[in-house]
Structure 1
Amino acid sequence: MEFESIVGVGAKTAERLAALDDPERALSEGDVAALARAPGISTGRAAAIARAAIRDEHDDAGEFLATDRAREIYRDALSLLQERAVTDHAAHRLETLYPTGSESRVTEVREWVATAMEREPRQDVLDALDGVAPLDDPSRDRIRDRCLATADAERHAEAQDEFPELSVEVVEDARGLADLAKGYSTVIALDEAFAGVDIAGDVQVRPDALETPEEVVPERVLSFFAHNRERLEAAARVHRTTDLDPPVDLARLDEALAGLTEEGTIVGDEELDRLGRAVDDLDAAVSTAESVANDRLREAIEERDVTIEGADLLSLVEQGAGVDSLLSRELADEHAAAIDAARDQLVDSLQLDTGEAELATRAFPEEPTFPVEHDEGVVNRLREDLTAARDRRATRLKRDLATEFADLQAGCDDLVGAALSRDRELAVARFASDFDCVLPEFGGRGVAVEGGRSPLLDCAFEDVEPVDYAVAGPTLLSGVNSGGKTSTLDLLALVAVLAHMGLPVPADEVRIERYEALHYQAKTQGTLDAGAFEATLREFGELVSGGRKRLVLVDELESITEPGASAVIIAGILEALDGETTGVFVSHLAGEIREAAGFEVPVDGIEAVGLVDGELEVERSPKKDSLARSTPELIVEKLATEDATDENEVFYERLLEKFE
């Protein structure tokens, strides 16, 4: 795929995308999480790239939302959908849904939506989704206890790329390997030529090392799973609470994760735990053993009356004898017992095995001394042996567990991906359920809505009055102030946007023509100055040119200039709109516009039934071919029928006649 052919993707972004494992798949599937793994690409940027790639695939120019107000309706609709996603990823992935005139794209989304609407958004599933997120690569820490070695420059470069955590050294011969073995616990030779060399230390010849990274650097796999543990556990819960077929053995995954700490180290192995404790506690255990020996020997000395005849004392002094000689002569048995107690204490406290215990006993020599002191050289050798045994076992366990995780890793990606996909589906299902939505039917001319209720109104959705309205061709919509004209335009815009996104719409039934663009001109606040007025007319000049199928919604265009001029301008715009355009123009000048137009402009009206306690009672569904009465007319009619007296009755009646 030529990345730079995607709108908005330049050379630098293309280079970043190329760094991904499978960028073509991520782009074709709109996988925002995968695209966001590219260096320097944020989640929002990834969503924009995914949308652009989808548009490119469906040959979509991305011109459906033709005005600022149309784009606002889209953003509001998308927000309602995203709010019903549990995970941030699903919310971002939903940004790849957008309104379009491309039939292939709308059909593609509708097929997915039809399945999504069948999902049941149970609370236990939503709870399980909390915590699911795309798997993430943790930072790689430098590993200093092992290195790679090779005599081949090309392989050296390959090894550096594959194992940035390790030092990769160039050696010429076995002597070079031997030198490395003095500074590293493990040296892994990559060349077959080194097979059979006899070198002191842990030197392994692994020509296949580049193909088995989980064995060379098991920490990489382990840290990945430790870092993503909560996400994997949450994804597993989603599969257990839904009908999703897990792509991995969940029991096997649970068991593998149970053997790993949050830091990525091995847990649950008794022998490794024993060796670790022995290394950590060695100094303290030696000190305690010394104290045991000295305490016993001190008690023995205090309890014994040692008598030395003068001749014997003189002889000992002449021989330069000290306390050691006295101990050997007078307290040999007690000293031996104290040393045995020290040895037992050391072996028992560290839980040493037979081989380790044999070395540990030499830490306390049998020669009589007081106070008893350990042999530091023996203790250091014991420390080295225990540390080596611990590290060997940890390395073996790491490799075994890393190999197990490596077998699970591809399935884990699918495990999380399926859970996130279910979140997107449930967001659609919740949206459809919360707003009583149906999939619209495409066909015919114009748009027809039955029982439509807009969730964008500033009130609870259950309090919204349903609206029935059908329109085709240029039409004027009249009605009383605050009667719902603008809300009707918003409903039509929302229905058009959702339908052309491939999503369900908030209505009992909707039939809509396939449009190529939505033009929604919002109400202007106050009369425009000359420059702004000219710019607005330019917009309509572009609107009436061309033959695309469009839905045009205009709210009180007369506010752009003086009422008389506005009526003429609106009439001219209606005349210029071709037969392919569906247009609804809200206006209080419907009568004046109809008179100025060169054709019979249809006028629909949102009728006010009357005034109740000073409040308008309105029939929200527009009435076809009806010029709705204004609020002032209703007030005059109310005064004429309810409050008229002999003195003012004629006055009210004459005012009413003026509205006819």
Structure 2
Amino acid sequence: MDLESIPGVGEKTARALAELDDPERALRTGDVAAIADAPGISQGRAARIARGAIRREHDDPGGFLATDRAREVYRELLGLLTERTVTEYAAQRLETIYPSRRRSRIEEVREFARGALEREPEPDVLAALEDVEPLERPNDVRVRERCLATTDAERYSAAREAIPELSVEVVEDAQGLAELARGYSTVVALDESFAGVTVEGDVRVRPDALENPAEIVPERPLSFFARNRTRIAAAIEVHRAAELEVGGDCDLDALEDALTRLEDDGTVAGDAELDRLAAAADDLDAAVGTAESVANDHLREAIREEDVTIEGSDLLSLVERGAGVDSLLSRELSDEYAAAVDAAREHLIDALDLESGEAEIARRIFGDEPTFPVERDENALGRLREELTAARERRAGRLKRDLAEELAGQRGPVRRLVRAALELDVELAISRFAADFDCAMPAFVPDDTDGDDSGDESGIETGFAIEAGRSPLLDEPLEAIDPVDYEVSGVTLLSGVNSGGKTSTLDLVASVVVLAHMGLPVPADRVRLHRFDALHYHAKTQGTLDAGAFESTVREFAALAERGAGSLVLVDELESITEPGASAKIIAGILEALSENGATAVFVSHLAEEIRQMADYDVTVDGIEAVGLVDGELEVNRSPVKDHLARSTPELIVEKLATDAVAANGGEVPGESAPQFYDRLLEKFE
């Protein structure tokens, strides 16, 4: 795939995308998380790039949403979907689902949506999703206690590139290697010529090190898992709660166990021996200080109680002033000094929980030569510190290598594990939307041949048929919305009383068409529709347009009349753009042109009768009929009646006044009465 051919992807972005493990898969499937893993690409930008890649994949020129109001409807519907997501990823992923004119793209999403409708948004699954996030790249790892060594300049450059986590040093011979070993806990020699060379310290000859970097730097794979430990654990919980299928290469129990042995900083947890060594190394100075106090306290007590030529208290005073302490201790208190030193040694060994070899070194910290206060041997202390530190590093290194080897093969499965959990959130958002708005999958005609949807049972050629539709854009509970049935083929005028639901009917049609062309379920019991090339939805204009705006509007409809054969056109009260008489003529001309080019259109208008008289063909007029007035409120049949010009609100009010007036006169109509006046007005509506 030529990455730069994707809309919005330049040379720099293409280089960043090329660093992904499988950029083509990520772009083809709209994997926002994987795309955002590329350097310098945010999730929002990743969604836009994915959208461009999908359009390129399906040869989709875009532009389905042809007007501002059409785009507003899409954004409102998208908002309703994203409100039902848990993760930020799912919200961004939904941005890649857009209304398209391409059948291949629509069918691709429809297949995904069908699977989504089978998902149950259980509370424990939604709760587990709260901690799932896309995997992150770990920060740069630097390991300072290890280094690589080589005698070759070319190998030096290759080593720096292959294993940037370690320092790389150039040495000339074994002596140089020995010097490095004194400064590093571990030295990895890359040259086979060093095989068999004996050097003090932890020196390993690994000519294959650059081919197996994870063995030399286990921190590399461990840092990935440490950085994403919470995310991976949450994804495991989602898979268990939702009973998602797990690939055979991923054992959730084993993965979870491995994660429990990994600290956030990439170190290994849960190993008693490593904990012992770490505690001993960290507590060494404090333990030695306490051991000194134990020995000195023991000696003070012994000196205070000793019965020699001088009183014990005087002897103590002399000793503390340093007067002949060595000879006094050697001559008079040798046994007590030995006991004090033994107590100090045992305390140190017990406090640090030292093993036999370590204990032997620890005993040398307090010598047999009598002194007071008891003095530590700094050389022996340094030796013990080095021994404990080296043992800790060796143990930690081995544990890291073992755990890294255990996890090394899990990076791919873990990516799939987290991706599946995130994609589940997308599916559940669609499922929740469908449940909240009582949705069903629509059927496209005449080219939809899936099962019972084959053929064109409704007689629609270029339009739509909606059964029991409820507009999701209404700010009302679903149960409070009257279901609407509406079918249109060709060009139609929609008439009706004020506040009767004409605009909400257009919103319903627009919502159904947008969602259907996104490949998603629609808010209706059943929908059949044509696959349109574009949606032109013109909202009601606020006030009469000036000359320039009026000219622009007419130009727009001229272009639509010329090239809008496969479009759906929804227009709300276009007559408000100019004077009523002129607008009836203009609308009639627009309807004629749209009818001739085979477009599907619904024009809401209060001038339906005038437009029908102006048109040179038999314009279909549907009506949202008011049943009457109940307590001053309109009672309306929200489903448009086919081929019916709806009565206006004023006509209904006058009719009510006439009925009330007759009732008030007891059925009598004497002379030129109010009922006769109302009857005269009603005749004007006939």
Instruction: Tell me the TM-score range normalised by the shorter chain.
Output: over 0.9
Partner of 2:15: 15
Correspondence for 1:347: 349
User: Which residue of 487, 490, 493 maps to 2:507?
Assistant: 490
- In structure 2, runs of 5+ residues without a counterpart are 446-459
Alignment correspondent of 1:227: 227
Comparing 560-569 with 173-182, which one deviates more in the overlay?
Answer: 173-182
Amino acid across the alignment from 1:204:
R
Mapped to 1, the partners of 2:66 and 2:649 lie a distance apart of 33
The equivalent of 1:470 in structure 2 is: 487
Say which is worse superposed, 356-365 or 139-148, in terms of deviation: 139-148
CA distance in 1, matches of 2:429, 2:393: 49
The equivalent of 2:684 in structure 1 is 658
Structure 2 letter corresponding to 1:641: T
1:302-342 per-residue CA deviation (whole Å, 9 max, x = no partner) reads 11221269xxx9xx9xxx98122122212221111111111
Q: Which residue of 1 aligns with 2:653?
A: 635
Which residue identity does 2:285 align to in structure 1?
A: D
* Residue among 517, 535, 542 paired with 2:552: 535
Give SS of 1:545's match: helix
Aligned to 1:619: 637
Relative to structure 2, which stretch is displaced further, 291-300 or 160-169? Answer: 160-169
User: TM-score, normalised on structure 1?
Assistant: 0.95
Alpha-carbon distance in structure 2 between the residues aligned to 1:152 and 1:532: 76
Q: Are 2:561 and 2:597, in contact at CA under 8 Å, matched by a contact in 1?
A: no
Q: Answer whether contact 2:86 2:126 (CA < 8 A) is retained.
A: yes
Question: What letter is aligned with 1:113?
Answer: A
Aligned in 2, Cα 1:172/1:374: closer, same or farther, shift over 3 Å? closer
Q: Which amino acid in 1 is paired with 2:517?
A: H
Deviation at 1:563, TM superposition (A): 1.0
Of 278, 284, 293, which aligns to 1:291? 293
What do residues 402-453 of structure 1 show as CA deviations (whole Å, max 9, x unaligned)?
1111122221111111212222222221111111111111114210000000
Q: Distance in 1 between matches of 2:395 and 2:518?
A: 57
Contact 1:132-1:232 at 8 Å conserved across structures: yes
Alignment check: 8 A CA contact 1:30 1:96 kept = yes
Distance apart, 1:609 and its partner CA:
0.8
The CA distance in 2 between the partners of 1:292 and 1:178, in whole Å, is 40
SS at match of 2:563: coil
Are the aligned partners of 1:479 and 1:628 in contact in 2 as well (CA < 8 Å)? Answer: yes
Deviation string 1:375-408 (CA, Å, 9 cap, x unpaired) is: 1221111111111111111111111111111122
Match of 1:586 among 600, 604, 609: 604
**Aligned partners of 1:280, 1:496: CA distance in 2, in Å?**
69
Matched AA of 1:452: G
The answer to whether the 8 Å contact 2:134/2:419 transfers is yes
2 CA distance for matches of 1:367 and 1:50?
78
Match of 1:259 in 2: 261
Q: Tell me how far 1:221 sits from its aligned partner.
A: 2.0
Look up the equivalent residue of 2:677 and give its one-letter code: F
Match of residue 514, structure 1, among 531, 541, 554 = 531
State the Cα distance separating 1:199 from its structure 2 match. 2.9
CA RMSD across the alignment: 2.0
SS of corresponding position for 1:64: coil
2:590 equivalent to 1:573:
yes
Secondary structure of the residue aligned to 1:449 is strand
- What is the match of residue 496 of structure 2? 479
Cα gap change, 1:308 to 1:493, in 2 (>3 Å): closer
Whole-angstrom distance in 1 between the partners of 2:8 and 2:419: 27
Do the aligned partners of 2:6 and 2:53 also contact (CA within 8 Å) in 1? yes
Cα pair 1:473 1:579 within 8 Å, conserved:
no
Superposed CA offset, 1:245-273 (max 9, x none): 22311111121111112222121111111
Point out the more displaced range, 488-497 or 194-203.
Answer: 194-203
Return the letter of the residue paired with 1:437: C
Q: In the alignment, what sits opposite 2:195?
A: 195
In structure 2, distance between residues paired with 1:582 and 1:261: 63
Residues in 1 aligned to 2:175 and 2:365: alpha-carbon distance in whole angstroms: 35
CA drift at 1:189:
2.4
Amino acid at match of 2:502: K
Alignment of 1:202-281 (within 5 A): 202-247=202-247, 248-281=250-283
SS of the residue aligned with 2:495?
A: strand
**What are the superposed Cα offsets for residues 523-552 of structure 1, whole Å, 9 maximum, x if unpaired?**
111111111111111111111112641111
Sequence identity percentage: 68
Letter of the 1:568 counterpart: K
- SS of the aligned residue for 1:96 comes to coil
In the other structure, the counterpart of 2:408 is 406
Given residue 634 of structure 2, which amino acid in structure 1 is its aligned partner? L
- Please tell me the residue identity of whatever aligns with 1:95: E
Distance in 1, matches of 2:565 and 2:191, equals: 68
Shift of 1:175: 4.2
The answer on 1:454 being equivalent to 2:456 is: no
Cα pair distance change 1:545/1:159, threshold 3 Å:
farther
1:493 is aligned with what amino acid? A
* SS of residue in 2 equivalent to 1:512: strand
Q: Which moved more, 1:465-474 or 1:121-130?
A: 121-130
| Counterpart residue number, 1:597 | 615
Q: CA deviation at 1:116?
A: 1.6
Q: Deviations over 1:36-86 (max 9, x none)?
A: 112222211111111111111111111211111111111111221222222
User: CA–CA distance in 2 between the matches of 1:412 and 1:98?
Assistant: 29
The answer to whether 1:77 aligns with 2:71 is no
Cα distance 1:167–1:566, how it changes in 2: closer, same or farther (>3 A)? same
Is residue 439 of structure 1 aligned with residue 441 of structure 2? yes
Q: Partners of 2:31 and 2:521 in 1: how far apart?
A: 23
User: What is the CA-CA distance between 1:224 and the residue it aligns to?
Assistant: 1.6
Q: What is the SS of the residue equivalent to 2:111? A: helix
Pairs aligned (count): 653
What letter matches 2:655 in structure 1? Answer: E
Report the Cα distance in structure 1 between the residues aligned to 2:628 and 2:370, rounded to whole angstroms: 117
Per-residue Cα deviation, 1:85-132 (whole angstroms, up to 9, x for no partner): 222112211211111111111112112211221122221222222211
1:210-230 CA-to-partner distances (Å, cap 9, x unmatched) read: 232222222222222122111
- Match 1:322 to one of 318, 321, 324: 324
The one-letter code matched in structure 2 to 1:282 is L
1:448 is paired with a residue of what secondary structure?
A: strand
Q: Which of residues 427, 430, 445 in structure 1 aligns to 2:429?
A: 427
Whole-Å Cα distance in 1 between the matches of residues 342 and 193 of structure 2?
Answer: 52
Match of 1:379 among 381, 384, 393: 381
Whether the 8 Å CA contact 1:9–1:49 is kept in 2: the answer is yes
Contact 1:448–1:471 (Cα < 8 Å) also in 2: yes
For 2:448, the equivalent position in structure 1 comes to none
Cα gap change, 1:422 to 1:308, in 2 (>3 Å): closer
The residue aligned with 2:59 is: 59
SS of the equivalent of 1:254 reads: helix
8 Å contact 2:141–2:223 — kept in the other structure?
A: no
